[in-house]
Copies of this chain bind each other. A is one copy, B any other.
Amino acid sequence: MPNTRPKYSVIADQLMRDIRDNRLTVGSLLPTENDLMRAFGVSRHTVRAAVQDLKSRGIVATRQGQGSKVISATGQAAFAERIQSIDQLIAFGQETRRELLSRETVEADEETARRFGCEPGRRLAKVRMLRRSLDGDRKIALVTLWMNTLLDEIVTELAHAQRSAAEIIRERFGLDTNVVEQAISADRLDEDTAAILDAEPGSPALIVTRAYFESRDDEPFLLARSIYTADALRVVSTFVAPGRA
């Protein structure tokens, strides 16, 4: 049999369904590992892998000697983006797998031109990619990149390698990313994007746009817009006053 889901994942899904449908209520205890072993006919190891999955999603909390407690029906976001430096901002791309959706040359429209700092009608390379989680097949985000057509050749490498666009551009073109401007907003998913992300049209989405600069005075050499389904991303940052920790 070719593509069977792992058992622990099937069990985790079943438990999540039970929680969502209130067969297991928030605040109550999960069946014990022994019960789950018998119920699903698997080893304790597999049961623990399933519970570990729920734990990492923030759905249950375990306590030695007591049991596993359901603490949330929905869980927290699977991805927490911790931005403390440019390097970490860039490294985030490595945790996901990219899939090339489309690749074309377009003329900059009014808004894109303004953000790029060029005149409308300038030819730009436009690339759309899908970001998936490394482990499962969860679809994380729809990413659209705009860049100078000269940089367009990085796309093939981008789709296959695990490195970020900024990293590849530095290596191939000697362009260093020193400044990144990031804007975060919320919106509804439109029909097309929802279809791509397997989500419901109109459901909430987090939109992160970034402009990459070599220096603050230059035009950006890369624009990126990522559309995340609401449950796929929480942007987490820690701000520390200088001197204190």
Contact = CB atoms under 8 A, between A and B. Distances in A.
Interface stretch (A30-38, A122-130, A146-154, A180-188): A180-188
B91 A85 contact: no
Contact of A204 (B69, B177, B204, B244): B204
Given A111-B71, A134-B61, A204-B205, A187 B239 contact: no
A78 B182 CA distance: 17
B184 A234 contact: yes
A77 interface: yes
A86 to B, nearest CB: 5
Contacts of A205: 186, 204
A198 interface: no
Interface in A211-235: 215-216, 228, 230, 233-235
A201 interface: no
A82 interface: yes
A58 B77 contact: no
Contacts of A238: 179-182
The 8 closest A-B pairs by CB, nearest first: A204-B204, A178-B244, A186-B230, A186-B206, A186-B186, A178-B241, A184-B235, A185-B234
9 contacts: A61-B134, A71-B111, A80-B183, A86-B239, A178-B245, A179-B245, A182-B236, A204-B204, A216-B245
